[in-house]
Structure 1
Amino acid sequence: MEFNAFRKMLLKKGLEAGFSECEIYYTQGESLSISVYEGEVEKYNLEKSKGLSFRGLINGKMGYSFTEILDFDALNMLIKNAKESALNVESDDVQFIYKGDKNYSEVKTYSEDLENIDPAKMIDLVLNIEKEAKSYDKVANINGCKISYSSSSHSIYNTNGLELNNKSNILMAYVVPVVEDNGQKQDGIGYSIVNSIDKLNPKEIAKDGIKEAISKLNGSSIESKKYKTILYKDAMASLLETFSNTFSADAAQRGLSLLKEKEGEIIGSEVLTIVDNPLLDNGLGSTPFDDEGVATYKKELVSSGRLNTLLHNLKTANKANTKSTGNGFKASFASNIGVECSNLYIEAGDKDLDELMKIVDEGIMITDLAGLHSGANSISGDFSLAAKGFYIKDGVKTHPIEQITVAGNYFELLKDIEVVGSDLKFPMSNVGSPSVIVKELSIAGK
């Protein structure tokens, strides 16, 4: 059945079945990913997907159902399953079908330059990336070389008259070269995320990966003690992402975040500002509205160290007697509404990496963190992680360091940030950070 006819009929039947309000969330998309190895295409995956979820309020309870097939049988199934779902709800939380906002911001999430992208051109590009990487000395192997394109659209329609549509697309490519010297191997990654295929530069992607890999060669451990530390942008972004759920009002209300009822309090240093910005052009988490239809906006979660707000959806906002921050999102069309960040990042300062090293004078730079899923407690903030990086002396990098463990507490780390760099970057994620100087971190080495 044609979608517009299906969704009108579904909303009509929903009201006739006793729902006081009901809503449809519809998403569809496609993705093409191509991996190469030794000059040949190793994997070629083309996927198309679509799905529809229905939810409705009946006797004050919210019922959910979903389908991937749009036909007459699905109409009755969706209403029946949503009714049964509502009957099984034990929570007394107030749920909402949103009426909409007067204005929705414009944000760049879709590039016409990527429409009708030529798979043959994608193959040529990714083969060239591998070829460029293998042309360097010391390259022992390529651990991965891939290019991928994805596009998606999502729509919301409800019985309050709300009709919203947005679409997005993106193209990315990466290579992971492995270099070897004196029997030691190290890898690096070069990548690019673009909104036009003509902006992909195989030489630059390969060069970045090789440069990172070579810089790690011949590393050694260091003495166990506390060091003044630069957390390089990628490492700091991975920490911020690991602990991003601490900003969720849902987590706080369930006792799973130490930021519960801390709005207005100082939780970080005065140089720290943390932003959630769904209106960032071409950001991986950008959208003009969340999955409840609430208009999104840029917000400073932390301003100069002070916690301003947690992230809310309609349910958590009602509990806290405040407004939704437009962060009600689904993990997929088949899931319920949760609370998630959009584009989360630490606002950049005005010092480049060389200036940060001069400020440190002697200390270390952490560039890689491993074990984030098992070695970090998102509730307490404690972490103990394997790390790699560089030793800094007289304000410059001297030699790579490895076989070390960095330990600390995330919430204390936020308070110990002394300088924020200017090199903000999103490492193939919707969470980004510039490099930062931390007063000191405990390092376990030799």
Structure 2
Amino acid sequence: MNLNEFKEKLFDKAKESGFEDSEIYVTNSESLSISIYKQEVEGYNLDKSFGLSFRGIINGKIGYSHTRILDEDSIDMLVNTAKNAALLIENEDTQFIYEGDKNYEDVVCYYEAIDNIDPKDLINIGLEIEKECKNYNENVVNIRGCKVIYSKGDIQISNTKGLDLKNKENILYTYVVPVLEIDGQKQDGTGYKIATNIDEINPRKIAKMGVDEALSKINSKSIETGNYKIALYNEAMVSLLSAFCGVFSADATQKGLSLLKDKENTIIASENVTIVDNPLLENGLSSAPFDDEGVATFRKEIISKGKLTTLLHNLKTAHKANTKSTGNGFKSSYASSVSVSPSNFYIEKGDKSFDEVLNTLGEGLLITEFAGLHSGANAISGDFSLASKGFYIKDGKKAYPVDQITVAGNFFDLLKQITVVGDDLTFPLSSIGSPTVIATGLSVAGK
């Protein structure tokens, strides 16, 4: 049975069973992951996935169900499962099947140049990256990971209110983690590239990126506990922002899980801070013209020069707050329910180069890496205490690498204490981005 025939029969069956409105959400994806180790293909994984979820409103409640098979038995199962689930719901939340928007922005999510790439070419890229690591520096003793990944997929949303949306996307990226050993000390680094054309992947540059990062950490040492001026490198700030971005969800505030409840239109950050959620970002990993409820997406400033202008909403949270959805109703998979999630979420870049940021810092610490974010960061209180690595900065230059330290603070306080924002905005294999920033109020525990 083809999808259109299945959809029509499913909607008819749902209507007969008492559903007022119904919707299907369909994903069809393919992913090729190639792992290289010691100049051999260690792993070659081709995954194909198809899934359809159904949801419908009955007696004001919404029920979900899902399947991977399109046949008559699945139609009965989907309707009955969703109906039974809806009847068990006890809360009074208003639910929505969306009729759609008049206009949807054109967003480039699919790149013909990387479609139908010969897997042999991807294997050769991986082999070359690994080889270049060892050619670049003789102290490379191991490769902790070397992968080339290509994935593509499409999404379709159709419902009984006339909504019929389709979007397709693909991505090619690679990374390598070389391990160096010098004078008995081992350190690793990561080189990576996200590409929209295979010609953008330069194995030597990727290898150099990873090896140089590992080299920079050699001869790391701890420092005394004390008060230091601190700069947070873009990738370190990304990890913090990733850990705490959920506090900007209206669902979290409405459930009492975020301190930003009732803080809209108030100052919650330094005037140097603007945080953007931009699903229309060119080459963004989470760019899309519509969310998983069919709401048209748009660029919005969550924090504008320190002021919290909006939270992230889906249709349900927006109704509760008597506002409009921000187009952030997303599903973690075809089989899950709609939640609130950011798209391309980042701190807007400033006007100082990385070198200028370090010159402004003068003397202090540049934190380049946080570890233990899952256990050391409390998203509700904002408190964090994290094992960290970085560099001691003197006269605006890197003096020596630092590790075995712990940096502690509070995310909400940190937003207010950012004094300088660099222009080196980056998205390190992530849809969360940040430039390097200087912040006060962080404590450092060392030896």
TM-score normalised according to structure 1 size? 0.99
SS at 1:226 equivalent: coil
Match of 1:363 in 2: 364
Aligned mates of 1:52, 1:281 — CA distance in 2: 28
Match of 1:418 in 2: 419
Aligned mates of 1:335, 1:174 — CA distance in 2: 29
SS at 1:227 equivalent: coil
In the alignment, residue 134 of structure 2 is paired with which amino acid? Answer: K
Task: Give the Å deviation of 1:282.
Answer: 2.0
Task: Give the Å deviation of 1:17.
Answer: 1.8
Match of 1:77 in 2: 77
Match of 1:6 in 2: 6
Residue 238 of structure 2 is aligned to residue 237 of structure 1: yes
Match of 2:271 in 1: 270
Task: Give the Å deviation of 1:432.
Answer: 0.7
Aligned mates of 1:88, 1:124 — CA distance in 2: 54
| More moved, 3-12 vs 112-121 | 3-12
In the alignment, residue 65 of structure 2 is paired with which amino acid? Answer: S
Aligned mates of 1:61, 1:201 — CA distance in 2: 53
Residue 50 of structure 2 is aligned to residue 58 of structure 1: no
Match of 2:405 in 1: 404
Task: Give the Å deviation of 1:91.
Answer: 1.0
Residue 90 of structure 2 is aligned to residue 90 of structure 1: yes
Aligned mates of 2:436, 2:9 — CA distance in 1: 53
Aligned mates of 1:181, 1:342 — CA distance in 2: 41
Task: Give the Å deviation of 1:13.
Answer: 1.9
Task: Give the Å deviation of 1:381.
Answer: 0.3
Give CA-to-partner distance per residue, 1:69-99, whole Å, 9 cap, x none: 1111101111111110111111100000001
Give CA-to-partner distance per residue, 1:301-350, whole Å, 9 cap, x none: 00001000100000000000000000001111111110000000000011
Aligned mates of 2:338, 2:440 — CA distance in 1: 39
| More moved, 231-240 vs 279-288 | 279-288
Aligned mates of 2:50, 2:268 — CA distance in 1: 42
Aligned mates of 2:227, 2:168 — CA distance in 1: 48
Aligned mates of 1:378, 1:184 — CA distance in 2: 35
Matched-pair contact (CA < 8 Å) for 2:409–2:441: no
Task: Give the Å deviation of 1:8.
Answer: 1.8
Aligned length: 446
Matched-pair contact (CA < 8 Å) for 2:153–2:168: yes
Aligned mates of 1:20, 1:426 — CA distance in 2: 43
In the TM superposition, 1:129-168 aligns within 5 A as 129-135=129-135, 136-168=137-169
SS at 1:225 equivalent: coil
**Unaligned segments of structure 1, at least 5 residues:** none
Task: Give the Å deviation of 1:440.
Answer: 4.0
Aligned mates of 2:200, 2:182 — CA distance in 1: 33
In the alignment, residue 98 of structure 1 is paired with which amino acid? Answer: Y
Aligned mates of 2:414, 2:60 — CA distance in 1: 44
Residue 10 of structure 2 is aligned to residue 48 of structure 1: no
Task: Give the Å deviation of 1:428.
Answer: 0.6
In the TM superposition, 1:250-289 aligns within 5 A as 250-289=251-290
| More moved, 270-279 vs 436-445 | 436-445
Aligned mates of 2:186, 2:441 — CA distance in 1: 30
TM-score normalised according to structure 2 size? 0.99
Matched-pair contact (CA < 8 Å) for 2:422–2:435: yes
SS at 2:229 equivalent: strand
Give CA-to-partner distance per residue, 1:88-147, whole Å, 9 cap, x none: 111100000001100000111100111111100000000000000011121111111000
In the TM superposition, 1:24-43 aligns within 5 A as 24-43=24-43
Task: Give the Å deviation of 1:401.
Answer: 0.5
Residue 345 of structure 2 is aligned to residue 344 of structure 1: yes
After TM superposition, the runs of 4+ consecutive aligned structure 1 residues lying more than 2 A away are none
SS at 1:221 equivalent: coil
Aligned mates of 2:194, 2:257 — CA distance in 1: 34
In the alignment, residue 340 of structure 2 is paired with which amino acid? Answer: V
Task: Give the Å deviation of 1:64.
Answer: 0.8
Aligned mates of 2:117, 2:14 — CA distance in 1: 40
In the TM superposition, 1:104-183 aligns within 5 A as 104-135=104-135, 136-183=137-184
Aligned mates of 1:77, 1:421 — CA distance in 2: 54
Give CA-to-partner distance per residue, 1:378-436, whole Å, 9 cap, x none: 00000000000000011111100011000010111111100100000101111010000
Match of 1:21 in 2: 21
In the alignment, residue 73 of structure 1 is paired with which amino acid? Answer: D
Matched-pair contact (CA < 8 Å) for 1:57–1:63: yes
Aligned mates of 2:356, 2:341 — CA distance in 1: 34
Aligned mates of 1:378, 1:337 — CA distance in 2: 21
Give CA-to-partner distance per residue, 1:177-201, whole Å, 9 cap, x none: 0011111000000000011112111
Aligned mates of 1:4, 1:197 — CA distance in 2: 35
Aligned mates of 2:294, 2:441 — CA distance in 1: 44
Give CA-to-partner distance per residue, 1:52-71, whole Å, 9 cap, x none: 01111111111111001111
Aligned mates of 1:173, 1:285 — CA distance in 2: 18
In the alignment, residue 215 of structure 2 is paired with which amino acid? Answer: I
Match of 1:326 in 2: 327
**Unaligned segments of structure 2, at least 5 residues:** none
SS at 1:32 equivalent: strand
Matched-pair contact (CA < 8 Å) for 1:110–1:282: no
